[in-house]
Chain A
Amino acid sequence: MSADRDVNRIVRSWLEEGRTALPDRVLDTVLDQLPATPQRRVLWPVRRFREMTAFTKFAVAAAAVVAAIAVIGAITFPRLTGTGAQPTPSPTASPVPTPTALLLPATGALDAGTYSYGESPARLTYTVPNGWSTTDGFVYKDRGSVSPAYAPGGGPGDVALVPWTVSHTYGDACHWQGNLVDAGSTVDELVSALQAQKSRVASTPTDVLLGGIPSRRLVMTTPADLDLASCDMGVVSFWPDPGPDVSGGLCCTKPGSTDVVYVVDVAGNRLVVVARHQADSLAVDLAELDGVIASLRFDVPAASPSPISPSASR
């Protein structure tokens, strides 16, 4: 032990040696580059997801027990419906945009209508049908299975849409703690970082229009056989809130879920829109999600190029 203390003392003493002053020319170079170095801005409100509290852990455990009972029940008792049967999608009324968009409320059930979210140049509007809700910037339709373990739209059967500002991703969606990756500032840099993310399967990106603006579309699937219990804090997490001080972020979805990620540059601001669905989402809900995406528009500043034409599909 005393030998350890000696080594510590020697190392500390040795570290005290050496230069500390930063030469003026380095500082001058930095200051000269400021005008050409745009600052990254949080264009949408930051969302903070709860930590896995004791209650949450209990709820996750309880949900696992319920799921196990359901599986046993499904094996034991005759099915009432055919395996894998999907309800026939009923015709979905196209959302009718209203002349004035309502400000998206912080949380609660939504009336059908057009809502706006965020501030220019990242202000966007979209139209949701009846039966959708919102919280923390998500608009989503849940199937009554919301669990503390899942983010909005992340639970069984759910669909959701959420815009995001992303500055960093996690190198591994399952083992995400201490695994932060700087996603640069361009659309392509973020797309590359997402493609490289482990524990998720990413499609080849395609070029589409979102709200009439060229964007890169990437389909990211969380494998159905991923064991969440093996993941950090028992959840998958895809990126933190903007900034390198890790917190919150987009996380907590069910294995087998799919995020269709649109990365778009609006007037020099890199924005992300995520359309999320589950393997067991109903066709009628998927059609509604498509309708929300098709209705999406960006509030592009007047000096920027106008959007081209509609639109994108999920």
Chain B
Amino acid sequence: MDADLIGRAQRGDEEAFASLAVAAGDRLHAVAHRILRDIDLAEDATQQALLAIWRDLPLLRDPTRFDAWSYRLLVRACYAEGRRTRRWAANVRLLPADEPEAAEGLSTVVDRDQLERGFRRLSIDHRAVVVLHHYLDLPLDEVAEVLGVPAGTVRSRLHHAMRGLRAALEADARQATREVAQ
């Protein structure tokens, strides 16, 4: 991110911030959508995160840390959305129809269904670790820095989350085996 742009926005330049928001908006929304699994909630969280970035930007001491810092505010906004609404549907809604039908390595719609169910059972804490590590490719120590928790906590959350997702996929496999046997 352009340090000059960040500096101007820190001094209250709204045009500079608009440029920052355009540049960062998509990636923040992508992360929010993956954590919250809901378009409306993700839009609300991204909006809140962008306003928090504007509000707190003068407090950011190291502009080179802007990306990690903005993820921290985004994850906070996701927590807030999670607390504010209890719209966590028990039923699973598959991703919208404009999404790709299948990605490489994800063999069946059932896999996606099971992953969706498994992921929604995770807390926001656990989802955030999975998304920051497996979607953004952040190393675990950087995930810890973003979330403001010890690295051991991040490892523990990731382990727990991946165990849950693996169990969801294995449940699917067992179901398929039973169906074949019948």
Report A's interface with B, CB cutoff 8 A: 3-4, 7-23, 26-27, 29-31, 33-35, 37-42, 46, 167, 177-178, 180, 182, 185, 242-246
Contact = CB atoms under 8 A, between A and B. Distances in A.
Interface string B85-105: 000000000011011100111
B121 interface: no
Contact of B43 (A16, A22, A42, A245): A22
Chain B interface extent, by class: 35 or more
Interface string B6-43: 00001010100110011001111110011000010011
Contacts of B59: 40-42, 167, 242-245
Nearest to A42: B59
Interface in B30-84: 30, 33-34, 39, 42-43, 46-47, 50-51, 54-62, 65, 69, 72-73, 76
A238 to B, nearest CB: 16
Interface string B152-171: 01000000001001100100
Contact of B150 (A8, A19, A177): A177
B133 to A, nearest CB: 9
Contacts of B150: 177-178
Contacts of B98: 19
Identify whether the interface residues of B are mostly helix, strand, loop, or mixed.
helix
B103 A16 contact: yes
- Residue among B14, B26, B33, B61 with most chain A CB within 10 A: B61
Contacts of B46: 22, 26
A219 to B, nearest CB: 28
Given A26-B43, A30-B51, A40-B58, A15 B34 contact: yes
A20 B55 contact: no
14 contacts: A11-B165, A12-B134, A14-B111, A14-B112, A15-B135, A17-B106, A18-B34, A19-B42, A20-B27, A21-B26, A37-B51, A178-B148, A182-B76, A243-B56
Contacts, number: 148
A14 B135 CA distance: 9
Contact of B29 (A4, A20, A245): A20
A29 B115 CA distance: 33
Given A10-B111, A15-B34, A38 B55 contact: yes
A22 B28 contact: yes
Nearest 7 CB-CB pairings of A with B:
A243-B59, A178-B149, A20-B30, A22-B25, A22-B29, A13-B105, A15-B135
Contacts of B111: 10, 14
A167 B54 CA distance: 14
Contact of B26 (A22, A42, A46, A177): A22
A41 B147 contact: no
B162 A11 contact: yes
A23 to B, nearest CB: 7
A81 B95 CA distance: 77
Contact of B105 (A3, A4, A9, A245): A9
Contact of A40 (B42, B56, B115): B56
